[in-house]
Amino acid sequence: MGASTLEILASYTERAQQATHAGGQAFARLLKHAESGDSGQQRRAALFVAATFNGRVHPFDLFELRAVDVEISDAMLTCLDALRWGRSDLYRLVPNGEQRVRAVIRQWGLGAVRD
């Protein structure tokens, strides 16, 4: 017999919470890397961070996932999973997230800093 609607909703709620928690941690790592990383891949991290803030203004080419270290691409995929569940904007999950993301956009010259 299949799971009840309440059981399905409960499992989705748990998955969303787990994804949001993991996404917040991954986003914090990517944001820190974009701010001051030293791997030579900071710009790609900055592009991804900007896209999660406003994808219409700052689009991200998914093929960039192939051009970064595994740890960075894993963090990006974790962030995408959190976005999929839609519990919170990622920048809201880190201290001073909005200000830090806006600073990264300016630092890397990624264009307008709009909402």
Structure confidence by residue, pLDDT tens digits, 48-72: 999 999 999 999 999 999 999 999 9
Give which of 59, 40, 61 is closest to 110, Cα–Cα: 59
Q: Give the Å distances, CA to CA, from 105 to 7, 17, 54, 83, 98.
A: 42, 28, 11, 20, 11
Note the pTM of the prediction, 2 decimals.
0.90
User: Which residues neighbour 111 within 8 Å (Cβ) at sequence distance 6 or greater?
Assistant: 57, 58, 105
pLDDT band at residue 40 under the 50/70/90 scheme? confident
What is the distance between the alpha carbons of residues 99 and 97, in angstroms, rounded to a whole number? 6
